[in-house]
């Protein structure tokens, strides 16, 4: 297979179709988040194939990935178009996410080894230090998601699948979360992180779960508020690129 054929089938030689689809999806995701692709814009398979040098199966897979993330709506016999996410949908997603993250924190508190708890406390300390030093909001979000990811690793397989699904669906809104954190500086959700930090060595599952839920409730309110303000603006607000997941 030559290079041209490899591109049509899913990327350069040695690159699998799944990785090629992920790459196309990531490129489109960044454009959607930057408002280069506005809500309602159609994403045609033929155009994606020509632009990215991939086959139709790769283009379809990339669009399915974006559909699972809630970034596009796929209509039978018509194609895919960029979704117009509402503040109400975001509010509901964060409500579910708060419940699942609270569950993850509870199980982590009960099931982690003493060594793992010590490592997580160190990670939280680094997050709090970074916030106090004025680190970029995107860095704080990356650190917090890594901690919650470690917590989720102690939940059941079913709970882990649900957490992974809701994280995919809210990935689009990380740019709004970054704006919320940047606006609050040293305030925001950090008292809730301190609550989790204090609960871990005591293995106080109820307090750890409450802290995790309250972090998400804070983000829920702030993201919804920013989206509502965006809706009232005459010009679209530029979104910053979200962390890749």
CATH number of the domain residue 14 falls in = 1.10.10.10
**Is 243 domain-assigned?**
no
**Is 239 domain-assigned?**
no
- The label of the residue with tokens 């970029």 reads 136
The predicted structure's pLDDT at residue 16: 53
The predicted structure's pLDDT at residue 196: 97
- Of 19, 52, 82, which one is at a domain's C-terminal end? 82
Same domain, 77 and 95: no
Query: How far apart, in whole angstroms, are the C-alpha atoms of residue 181 and residue 145?
Result: 14
The predicted structure's pLDDT at residue 136: 87
The predicted structure's pLDDT at residue 99: 95
Which parts of the chain have pLDDT scores under 50? Answer: 1-15, 234-245
Q: How far is CA 15 from CA 54, 89, 161, in A?
A: 12, 36, 26
Same domain, 204 and 136: yes
The predicted structure's pLDDT at residue 239: 35
**Is 129 domain-assigned?**
yes
Sign of CA dihedral 68, 49, 86, 244: positive
The predicted structure's pLDDT at residue 204: 98
The predicted structure's pLDDT at residue 83: 83
Same domain, 98 and 203: yes
Residue partners of 175: CB distance under 8 A and separation at least 6: 33, 239, 240, 241, 242
**Is 244 domain-assigned?**
no
- Of 82, 112, 128, which one is at a domain's C-terminal end? 82
Residue 54, domain extent: 3-82
Same domain, 116 and 181: yes
Same domain, 77 and 114: no
The predicted structure's pLDDT at residue 8: 39
Query: What is the CATH classification number for the domain harbouring 163?
Result: 1.20.120.530
Same domain, 94 and 167: yes
In angstroms, the first-to-last Cα distance of the chain is 31
- Of 29, 56, 82, which one is at a domain's C-terminal end? 82
**Is 242 domain-assigned?**
no
Same domain, 122 and 76: no
The predicted structure's pLDDT at residue 128: 95
């Amino acid at each position: 297979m030559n290079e041209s054929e490899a591109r049509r089938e899913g990327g350069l030689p040695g690159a699998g179709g799944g990785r090629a689809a992920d790459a196309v999806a990531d490129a489109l995701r960044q454009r959607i988040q930057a408002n280069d692709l506005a809500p309602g814009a159609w994403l045609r398979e033929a155009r994606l194939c020509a632009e990215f040098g991939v086959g139709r199966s790769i283009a379809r897979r990339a669009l399915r990935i974006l559909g699972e993330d809630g970034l596009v709506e796929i209509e039978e016999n018509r194609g895919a178009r960029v979704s117009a996410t509402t503040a109400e949908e975001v509010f509901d997603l964060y409500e579910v996410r708060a419940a699942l993250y609270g569950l993850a924190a509870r199980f982590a508190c009960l099931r982690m080894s003493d060594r793992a708890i010590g490592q997580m406390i160190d990670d939280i300390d680094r997050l709090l230090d970074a916030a106090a030093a004025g680190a970029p909001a995107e860095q704080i979000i990356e650190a917090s998601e890594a901690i919650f990811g470690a917590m989720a690793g102690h939940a059941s397989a079913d709970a882990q699948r649900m957490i992974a699904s809701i994280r995919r669906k809210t990935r689009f809104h990380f740019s709004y979360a970054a704006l919320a954190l940047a606006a609050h500086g040293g305030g925001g959700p950090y008292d809730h992180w301190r609550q989790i930090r204090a609960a871990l060595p005591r293995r106080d599952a109820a307090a750890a779960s409450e802290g995790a839920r309250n972090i998400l409730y804070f983000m829920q309110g702030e993201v919804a508020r920013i989206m509502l303000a965006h809706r009232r603006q005459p010009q679209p607000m530029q979104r910053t690129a979200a962390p890749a997941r």
